[in-house]
Structure 1
């Protein structure tokens, strides 16, 4: 097994692996997806994506499932000492104003806990890593 240094990307990958396993018992988890707005790109690709609707600051993960009085859940993943940017904070605020739950998580564990709490489900043995 290849071990990679922990990063925002590796933590997000852990969340997505957990959701894939968990979707067997909690089908809503199959709807959890990444919004690929970040990352470095060459100028041409960045311009094309911007014309197609990519917007800076949109949270990393979206679970479009209504629960607990919210329309859906958005998660901005961070790692270590990273903090949300001004644009990310703006998006989180705007999403909350529109009736979504929008949170920042600094680890896979905290994101998984947010999702479990949001959906009001119990984590099965298969889902535990």
Structure 2
């Protein structure tokens, strides 16, 4: 399981050097075997060679982190996004982006990340993270509609009291594009299906002049969002095939 960094750069590098000396002298580890530090040393050398300044604590911790339980897409984010890496490897780090914060939490707790009940939750977190990074201007207007996902019976009741409407799509973009007043996106996992209530609600929104579509998986969802945002601003003639 991934854990936060406990020591600074100097200490970590000294420990690596110490273990290199032990290995050369044939000193055995506590389990009776050799100190296997070739992989972390190679990774630290790679990081050091790729930047002009010494690696940060987050970079060092990321290089030494066990990512075997993480999906490839999250490992890629961990490697390229310094903020996510910092929050995932250090304690008491609060990020401005709630999506980056949540991804860091998932890195720290792979068990929750791999919980099938939260599959659509993590899909939508990844989706909003990507929108925030790739479309920062549009991101300010895109919002989620909390209808789906796993919740307790009491939480579900409270949502209804507050105005939650069954069948409403998950994401709304109130930005007029082409002939559309805005876009509704129903987010589904690869195994998800669209319910009758959702189909009925989606058809009603389409008749009202919105671009409405259901998509399965991250790639399909991002493709739909990208295509919509690429439309000209409300020219009243350009359309998309849903």
**Does the pair score TM above 0.5?**
yes
State the Cα distance separating 1:79 from its structure 2 match: 1.1
**What is the rounded CA distance, in whole Å, between the counterparts of 1:82 and 1:61 in structure 2?**
16
Q: How does 1:85-100 map to 2 (within 5 A)?
A: 85-100=195-210
| Residue 61 (structure 1) aligned with residue 171 (structure 2) | yes
Aligned residue among 115, 134, 141 for 1:22: 134
Q: 1:23 to 1:80 in 2, by over 3 A?
A: closer
| Residue 37 (structure 1) aligned with residue 147 (structure 2) | yes
Which runs of 5 or more residues in structure 2 are unaligned? 3-106, 232-242
Which runs of 5 or more residues in structure 1 are unaligned? 122-129
Task: Give 1 or 2: higher helix fraction.
Answer: 2
**What is the rounded CA distance, in whole Å, between the counterparts of 2:203 and 2:144 in structure 1?**
19
Q: Which of 1 and 2 has higher RCO (CA within 8 Å, sep 6+)?
A: 1
**What is the rounded CA distance, in whole Å, between the counterparts of 1:47 and 1:8 in structure 2?**
20
Aligned residue among 164, 189, 196 for 1:79: 189
The normalised TM-score by structure 1 is 0.81
State the Cα distance separating 1:59 from its structure 2 match: 0.5
3-state SS in 2 of match to 1:31: coil
Q: Give the greater-gyration-radius structure (CA).
A: 2
**What is the rounded CA distance, in whole Å, between the counterparts of 1:79 and 1:46 in structure 2?**
21
Per-residue CA deviation, residues 75-114 of structure 1 (Å, 9 max, x unaligned), is 1111122210111111110110100011111111111111
Task: Give 1 or 2: higher strand fraction.
Answer: 1
Q: What RMSD in Å do the two structures reach over aligned CA positions?
A: 1.9
Kept after mapping to 2: 8 A contact 1:79/1:107: yes
The normalised TM-score by structure 2 is 0.45
